[in-house]
Every structure is written in C-alpha cells, then in structure tokens.
Amino acid sequence: MRLSDFTVLSFDCYGTLIDWESGIWAALQPLVARAGGALAREAALAAFARHETAQEAATPGLVYSELLALVHRRLAAEWDVAPDATADRAFGASVGDWPAFPDSADALAYLGRYYNLVILSNVDRASFARSNLRLAAGFAGIYTAEDIGSYKPDPRNFRYLIDRLAEAGHPPDEILHVAQSLYHDHAPANRCGIKSAWIDRRQDSQGWGATPAPDGTVHYDFRFAGLADMVAAHRAEQRGA
C-alpha cells in the first residue's frame, strides 16, 4: 500500500494538526492555580479526557465550545474549586487560541497539491474557523460535530464523511483518514472500512494524554511521528514512481 493510492486525505484536527494538549493545559492554568497548583500536566489531561468523553456521550448535539464549558465546570468540581461560569465560558472559547503543530501548515500546503483535503473534527464551525487561521489551508470539505450532531467515535461521523465524499465522486477506497487518536478516529475508521494513517504525536510520552485509551486492538495502515514525516514518505514515493 502506498500513500499515492488515495485521492482524499480526511484529517482530524485537534491532536493531529492543532496541539490541543498544549492548548488545553495553557487554558486550564487559572483553574489549576485555584486548585492549589499541584496538578501535573498528564494527570490534568487524563481528567479532561474522562470528562470530555462523558460529556460528549451525554450531550452529543451540544456545540463544542459550550460542551467545553461544561467540562471545565466538571473539572472544577472534581478539583474542589468553587464554580465560576465566566471561567467556564473562557475555557470553552479557548479553542482558537490553541497552537498548531510546527509542521502542520507546511505539510497541508504540500499535501494539498496531491490530494483533496477535508476535515472531520469534534468541534464547532466557529472554533474551527479560528484554528484554520493558523493552518492556512483550503479544505475541500469541513465536517464538524456541529454539522453531524454527534461526536467521534460515534460511527455516524464517519458515515457522514463517507456519504459526503461519495456525493463528490470519491468512494471509500480513495479515502485515507489521518489522525492522532486511536480512540476517536482509528477505531471507528476500522469499523467503517476506511484506511488510516496514525500521526503518533505522543510517541515520546507515556499514557494517552487528552484522549481515552482505545478499546481492544486498533489497526492503522501507516504510522508517522508527525506530518513532516508523512510528507517525507510521500516525497520518497514520488521520487521512486
């Protein structure tokens, strides 16, 4: 199997293109300080993953910025911090402040010369629009949880992706899903029959960070430490073609 076998790259955004763990940790600093300042980054990210997953299951139709505000409130309660609605809303609005990974914009610019690029993300459109200012990418399709009414790993999100791309003339075997989260992306891609590339952004870190651990065995067809490595692999294919 070669990267050049595909015509569409569908990207997860947060964790893959946007460094959401750094963004989340930075946005949590006021709450961490109010909790006494002793919380370690990895423990805070794991708590975020637990509460975000539970909230997405409980309120699948809620806009992501509003959902994040509820996650912040849940974290405050867990960490014995008095509720603060203003702080909750500020955390929910922080998505556009989260930084892009250093290789994201250049990689998208390169890959866009060879593929149709689309987004499949657990986010709302307004938040993604702010993030895309950092990515500077022209995506052929942007499919968000706000559009679909559910959050990955719900299979409805991937069926929506498949259906929209089929309408544009791209069958499932032309799609390569590019993502960091085995739980949110690769497991449901497996179930829907889509090939995938794992961008293993946490390969030098222990644990699962801001995502839950995957259930059972998850398959992926390519593995790269970052998008720059994916671009290098594609360049090598082009030289050998």
What amino acid positions are annotated as catalytic residues? 12
C-alpha to C-alpha distances, 204 to 29, 175, 227, nearest whole angstrom: 23, 28, 16
Residue ranges of alpha helices (H) inside the chain are 20-27, 29-34, 41-58, 64-78, 85-92, 104-111, 125-135, 145-148, 155-167, 187-192, 227-240
CB-based contact 29:147 (threshold 8 Å): no
Phi, psi of 4 (to 5 degrees): -75, 0
Phi-psi region of 37 (alpha: psi -120 to 50; beta: other; left: phi over 0): left
The single-letter DSSP state of residue 60 is T
Q: Let me know: does 10 contact 175? Beta carbons within 8 Å.
A: yes
Cis bond leading into 83, ω under 30°?
no
Task: Determine phi and psi for 201, rounding to 5 degrees.
Answer: -65, -20
